[in-house]
Chains A and B, each alone.
Chain A
Amino acid sequence: EAGVTQFPSHSVIEKGQTVTLRCDPISGHDNLYWYRRVMGKEIKFLLHFVKESKQDESGMPNNRFLAERTGGTYSTLKVQPAELEDSGVYFCASKSSGTGVLFGEAFFGQGTRLTVV
C-alpha cells in the first residue's frame, strides 16, 4: 500500500512568487491534514479536510494560503504571494474514518521543504 506522497520534495522560490504543494493521501483515507514546521520549531497544524470539505482551518496563517481538495482525493496548498517567513517544511498526513479511529494514527508524508529567498 502506498503511503502519503508529497510533491515536490524541495522548492526554492523568490519572495512574491507563487508555489503549489501537492499531497496524495493513502487511498481511502477521508481525513487529510496539513502541518508546517518552521525553523526547527514545533510542527504546527494548518488545516483538516474530511473528504473535500474543510473541517478545521484554524491554523492557516493568513489569506495568502489556499488549500483545496477537489473530489476528496489529493490536496493542494498554494502560497501566493510567498513571503520569507513561509519557509519551512510542510507535512501532509491522512487518516481513515473507520470505526474506532477517532484518536487513531495519522500517516505522514515526507514533507515539502519550502525555501523563500
Chain B
Amino acid sequence: AQKVTQAQTEISVVEKEDVTLDCVYETRDTTYYLFWYKQPPSGELVFLIRRNSFDEQNEISGRYSWNFQKSTSSFNFTITASQVVDSAVYFCALTTILTGGGNKLTFGTGTQLKVEL
C-alpha cells in the first residue's frame, strides 16, 4: 500500500526565516512520482512540483527547493526567506503504476505553514 506521512501538522515562522516541510513516503513500486501542492486560503490546490523516482537531483525554483532522497524515502520542501504570502497548507502526494497508472494520488495530511511579520 502507498502512504505519505507529513509529520508536521503546523509550523509557524517569522518572515524571512527559512523553513523545511518534511515528507516521507512508502511504496513498493519502483516507478513513482512525488508531488507538492499548495493550498492557499482561497482553497484551490496549486501544483508546485513533480519528481519521478529515477531522478534524485535536487531542484530549485526561486525561493523554493526540493530535496529528494530515495535512501530515506523523503521528499522535503524548503522555502528560503519565507514571506507572508507563503502561508498555506502544503500537501505532499505520491502516485505509482500500482495505484491506477498514475491516476490516483495518495496525499499526506498536509502541513499548515504560518508566516508572520
Contact = CB atoms under 8 A, between A and B. Distances in A.
Interface residues of B, number: 26
B107 A43 contact: yes
Given A103-B33, A103-B50, A55 B109 contact: no
B4 A102 contact: no
A33 interface: yes
Interface in A47-81: 48, 55-56, 59
B10 to A, nearest CB: 10
Contact of A103 (B45, B47, B52): B52
B102 A103 contact: yes
Given A102-B102, A103-B33, A103-B102, A42 B108 contact: yes
B91 A56 contact: no
A31 interface: yes
Interface string B20-32: 0000000000000
Contacts of A110: 42-44
Contacts of B102: 102-104
Interface residues of A, number: 31
A108 B102 CA distance: 16
Contacts of A102: 101-102
B68 to A, nearest CB: 15
B44 A108 contact: yes
B14 to A, nearest CB: 24
A106 interface: yes
A113 B43 CA distance: 9
Interface of A: 3-4, 9, 31, 33, 35, 40-45, 48, 55-56, 59, 89, 91, 93, 95, 102-111, 113
